[in-house]
Amino acid sequence: MQPIQAPYPTTRFRRLRRTAALRALVQETTLTTGDLIWPVFLCDGANQRQPVASMPGVERLSLDLIVGAAADARDLGIPAICLFPYTDPGLKTADCREAWNPENLTNRAIRAIKAQVPDIAVMTDVALDPYNAHGHDGLVVDGVILNDETVEALVKMALAQAASGADILGPSDMMDGRIGAMRAALESAGHKDVAILSYAAKYASAFYGPFRDAVGATGALKGDKKTYQMNPGNSDEAIRLVARDLAEGADMVMVKPGMPYLDICARVKDAFGAPTFAYQVSGEYAMIQAAAQNGWIDGEKAMVESLLAFKRAGCDGILTYFAPAVAKLLRG
């Protein structure tokens, strides 16, 4: 693009900023409820609301309440929710077998939501960390996170979620080859319409801490995830990873975290033109909430500005814990 304008004073950029009406007419980027995916946390029991201390305003919900939350999201115009389970520590094992149990918390929640709120899209997380005694996204042997064996486990997990009625699978594990394996298995099992939103460029980030509190993985994690999640100093690698996942059958791709990696969002959208999402992760949410609660920033304005940044960077949608709040604001 080559902008052309007359010199000052013939051109005055402030003319089109003068009123709200003029600003609305020339706004280049907009945020809508259709851009939102709401991540929600599950817990066992009945009528349970468990606040997550490190994520002010976020609660774990039991199955009876998650259905109502899904209905509320649909009524607000939010097109999708993403499920993350808080797994009973007694069910966490080295082989992670609870991950593909048809009766695990996530799969029961999928069925309950699709039975009562069929028109909302249900997305799931495909990774072993909620079920892993070691807290890692993959199987661990002698301190090494195994790749190929983990992919086999993830395929079983993906098939169980698809059979339960999931609309979108979100592989967040960062193992090599998992998208191709899942896509082949889904096709073979007759789940040809189940979409994959790949966590293609997921960085080893300090911004995930509150999420690990929410799913109960903080105490279980041994070591770090740097052998499978990305180095924050790398950008070209993200492009190669996105290219690989699209070539293996991903329908959509994600950059995670979001705000510290807006440059990656822009590069991915520019390079591939594929549906591109960002995850405004727990640490990003917690920073805004904490500052707002202390009166240091206007939380509502910061929320909207942060989400608009993802759209401006080229994202088609955002996973955000702010989804209900911003949807209510957008609907007036």
Give residue 92's region: left, alpha or beta (phi > 0; psi -120 to 50). beta
Assess whether 156 carries a catalytic annotation.
no
Assess whether 114 carries a catalytic annotation.
no
**Are the C-beta atoms of residues 313 and 262 closer than 8 Å to each other?**
yes
Half-sphere exposure of residue 33: CA atoms within 13 angstroms, side-chain side: 20
Which among 114, 202, 225, 311 is annotated as catalytic?
A: 202
317 DSSP β-pair partners: 277
Which among 92, 114, 256, 269 is annotated as catalytic?
A: 256
- Give the burial string for 219-254 (b: 16+ CB within 10 Å, else e): ebeeeebeebbbeeeeeeebbebbbbbbebbbbbbb
**Are the C-beta atoms of residues 202 and 258 closer than 8 Å to each other?**
no
Using CB atoms within 10 Å of the CB of residue 322, give its burial: 0 to 12 exposed, 13 to 18 middle, 19+ buried.
buried
**Are the C-beta atoms of residues 49 and 59 closer than 8 Å to each other?**
yes
Sign of CA dihedral 92, 95, 99, 103: negative
Catalytic residue numbers read: 202, 256
